[in-house]
Amino acid sequence: MDTSRKKLTVLLSSRILPFVLLFLALLLIMPRTAKFRYDYRKGAVWHHETLISDFDFPIYKTAEQMEEERAQAGDGSVIPYYRFSDEIVNKNVRAAEALQLGAHASVKSRLVAVLRSVYAQGIVQDEGVRVDKRSANLSDEVLYVQKDKRASKYPVTEVYRQTDARAKVMAEVGKSFPSFNMDSIFRAAGVYDLIVPNLIYDKQTTELVQAESAERISPTQGFVSAGQLIVSEGEIVTAEIAQMLDSYKQEYQSNMGLQKSSLPYVIGNVLVALILVLILFLVIYFVDEGILASKRRLWYIVFIVFLTALGALLAGRHDPVNLYLVPFTLALLYLRTFFRYGVIVPVYFVALLPLAIFCQNGVVLYVMYIAAGLVAALFYRSSERGWRQFLPCLVAFVVLVLIYTGFDFTGFISGNWGRTVLYLFLGSVISGAAYPLTYLFERIFKLLSTTRLVELTDTDNTLLRRLEEKAPGTFQHCLQVMSMAEMVTRTIGGNVALARAGALYHDIGKMKNPLCFVENSMLSTDPSAPSYHANLTPKESARDIIRHVADGLELAAKYRLPEEVAAFIRTHHGTTRTGYFYNKFVSEGGDPADTADFTYPGGKPQTREQVVVMLCDTVEAAARTLADNSAKAYSDFVDRMIEGKNKEGQFDEADISIADLLAVGEALKTYLAQMYHERIAYPTKLRRRLSSSR
């Protein structure tokens, strides 16, 4: 079995648990009913096979049809309810009986009789009533009259309007007394004031009946029998066919889908969940195998993938429009905080697969959120502060609205545009509000964010100030290595922030014994005193120099530096030897095979960034000793140095390619040529003149 297969076997056996738990979690939240397998849109061609109904189902009315019928149920055709008021009748009849008509007293008995007759038939107000803001025209309708706890229906022609009732009373009484001017008598005696509506409009009962009428509207308008053709292959999906397809889909998902909760359907869910997990594993394996060896990073990715799947599978279960509330693009931002683009993009594609597979209009939603996430990632800057940190969420919202509008206008998706845009906006607000959770995730999973790395490279922090005070030469060396590593890492597309932090801290152990290192010789109080190593044997000198690695790791633990940064301290020398003192030991008669005391304990670099810092550390220290400052001299030096490290096997465990090493070499040559190029040698007199002018 070759090395790569052995490595894969170890990874499978030690990192399988997160994937197993993700598989079980997906099974738990996956739909229990089958998904309607046909995609279609009104006005498009039916590209599937001819569809014949497998079962009987009703044709459901569209939302627009239901709304129209409810509106019709609330217009003037509603039969109003009136309450017969005995109180008004008795009061006004008694008042009529008490009238003092003087010379026309003979009219009273006839007036009372006619008044009783008209009131018995019923009087309503002249104007129409209001029913749910619609005028009910009573002239051609019927009404209900509630009397003695019973409601009876009467034609409007059988009741009087108030004006008609007054005219009726005057006419009937006038027939009995043709010689009297009845209108004058009525006005003088106030008879007209006694003829008022005794049928009082019952608004509460009318609106209650109206509501019940609207609720009784049938949601269906037809029926399709099993075996009946729904749509033929190649046929245009008209509005009528789309309505049948919508009804067929609704019935299938609500009833037939439940019948699929059998063994075959369970097996299907198992296979789909297994495929999703396998795809995620392979994506991680091929884009960054090192993630599989890092429990914390692996668990974090699995956690984000699960959260994304949870949002997709639960949000749209009851109403698909709820999916627009889920801030799926936030998953990409959560990943970007801790991983490079080469990792987060394929993982994000996999995380959104449940959205495309299980959700209504899944492919459209998948395209929307993929595009929005990628554009938002372009605007992501982990070190941003203030309103700018919410810029990716705003950009994602704009992209989502534009894409949704395009799909809506072309008919690929249907819905309430305003409501959907509102939901997308709320989803973006949720995204901005939830983004600070990255700081919590950083603590829980003990990950290292770009923000944290930027904070670590602030030279005003306590540890770096101590390094500058105790070992100023080493501090300047670290600054130079950091500058060099930043440029080189950017060239190969590595994690620049991590390389900067690693370079800045790689030699902090030297502050424990600064005089041991030549760059700090200016700290000696006696310039004439012998060097630190003058009275030490080669082995003793090598021991003290090598110790700065252990001292650095001790300081890293004390100041709680992240493990990713401490790894640079451990690996920046790899398993190389202290060449100067080893050669001195051999030249003094030592056994060449005795290398243990001169060899750094390692380990070897594991990442591209650690390789870069190792090479930059060596180049920065050795380049100062070169007498020849020509470009060719620097080029040959860099080539020899990289080739030597490679032959020693220092890069064997690192995820760096030959192409990366070549790019690193070219970047180092460019940096050295820019930093240590030859200077113009001014003549002696000119130098003196320049010096005196300063």
SS3 string, 117-171, reads HHHHHCEECCCCEEECCEEECHHHCEEEEEECCEEEEEEHHHCEEHHHHHHHHHH
pLDDT of residue 72: 63
Return the SS3 of 153: strand
pLDDT over threshold 60, residue 220? yes
pLDDT of residue 265: 75
pLDDT of residue 506: 95
533 Cβ contact list (under 8 Å, min separation 6): 516, 541, 581
Average pLDDT along the chain: 83
Return the SS3 of 236: strand
| Helix segments in 559-630, DSSP class H | 563-571, 579-587, 608-623
8 A C-beta contact, residue 528 and residue 583: no
pLDDT of residue 50: 86
353 Cβ contact list (under 8 Å, min separation 6): 276, 279, 366
pLDDT of residue 134: 43
Distance CA 367, CA 429 (A): 21
> Which whole number is the average pLDDT over 206-224?
71
pLDDT over threshold 60, residue 310? yes
> Which whole number is the average pLDDT over 425-447?
89
pLDDT 10s digits, 31-87: 876 666 677 777 778 877 888 887 777 887 777 777 777 666 555 456 788 889 889
Closest CA to 570 of 515, 614, 615, 622: 614
528 Cβ contact list (under 8 Å, min separation 6): none
> Which one is predicted more confidently, 14 or 432?
432
Least confident range from 232-246, 485-499, 560-574: namely 232-246
pLDDT of residue 136: 43
Give the Å distances, CA to CA, from 234 to 207, 411, 556, 615, 692: 49, 18, 70, 65, 94
**Domains in the chain, start-ordered, CATH in brackets?**
3-32+262-388 (no CATH), 72-215 (no CATH), 451-675 (1.10.3210)
pLDDT of residue 258: 47
8 A C-beta contact, residue 477 and residue 521: no
Using pLDDT thresholds of 50, 70 and 90, give the confidence band for residue 138: very low
Distance CA 169, CA 253 (A): 67
> Which whole number is the average pLDDT over 126-145?
55
Distance CA 34, CA 252 (A): 9
> Which whole number is the average pLDDT over 306-325?
87
8 A C-beta contact, residue 600 and residue 576: yes
pLDDT over threshold 60, residue 256? no
> Which whole number is the average pLDDT over 667-689?
68
Least confident range from 93-107, 339-353, 429-443: namely 93-107
Closest CA to 575 of 595, 561, 559, 593: 595
Give the Å distances, CA to CA, from 420 to 21, 314, 321, 358: 34, 18, 7, 20
> Which one is predicted more confidently, 223 or 51?
51
Q: How many CB atoms lie within 10 A of CB 409?
A: 10
Token duo for residue 247:
């009804």
- Residue 142's beta-bridge partner residues? 155
Burial of 198 by CB count in 10 Å (0-12 exposed, 13-18 middle, 19+ buried)? buried
> Which one is predicted more confidently, 372 or 243?
372
Least confident range from 34-43, 177-186, 614-623: namely 34-43
Segment (H or E) for 52 = strand 51-52
> Which whole number is the average pLDDT over 278-294?
90
pLDDT of residue 290: 80
Encoded amino acid at 28, one letter: L
pLDDT over threshold 60, residue 345? yes
Q: What is the largest CA-CA distance in the chain?
A: 159
pLDDT of residue 36: 67
Closest CA to 57 of 215, 318, 263, 257: 257
Least confident range from 218-222, 450-454, 632-636, 669-673: namely 218-222
pLDDT of residue 214: 60
> Which whole number is the average pLDDT over 492-499?
91
pLDDT of residue 279: 96
- Residue 201's beta-bridge partner residues? 82
pLDDT 10s digits, 535-550: 899 899 999 999 999 9
> Which whole number is the average pLDDT over 458-479?
93
pLDDT of residue 77: 59
Select, from the ranges 8-12, 45-49, 462-466, 581-585, the one with the highest average predicted confidence (pLDDT).
Answer: 462-466
pTM: 0.63
Give the Å distances, CA to CA, from 76 to 64, 154, 158, 204, 397: 20, 16, 19, 16, 45
pLDDT of residue 137: 40
> Which whole number is the average pLDDT over 571-597?
89
Return the SS3 of 223: strand
pLDDT 10s digits, 439-461: 899 889 988 888 888 889 999 99
- Residues 508, 511, 516, CA angle at the centre, nearest 5°? 115
pLDDT 10s digits, 76-132: 456 788 889 889 989 988 988 888 887 788 888 888 899 999 998 888 888 754 444
Using pLDDT thresholds of 50, 70 and 90, give the confidence band for residue 681: low
> Which one is predicted more confidently, 665 or 133?
665
> Which whole number is the average pLDDT over 382-396?
71
Please give the full DSSP string across 546-568, using - where no structure is assigned.
HHHHHHHHHHHHHTT--HHHHHH
Q: What is the share, in percent, of the chain residues with pLDDT greater than 70?
A: 86
Token duo for residue 13:
């056996």
Distance CA 539, CA 83 (A): 115
> Which whole number is the average pLDDT over 428-443?
88
> Which whole number is the average pLDDT over 497-516?
94
Position of tokens 């959907």? 420
Return the SS3 of 350: helix
pLDDT over threshold 80, residue 259? no
Burial of 550 by CB count in 10 Å (0-12 exposed, 13-18 middle, 19+ buried)? middle
> Which one is predicted more confidently, 304 or 590?
304
pLDDT of residue 24: 94
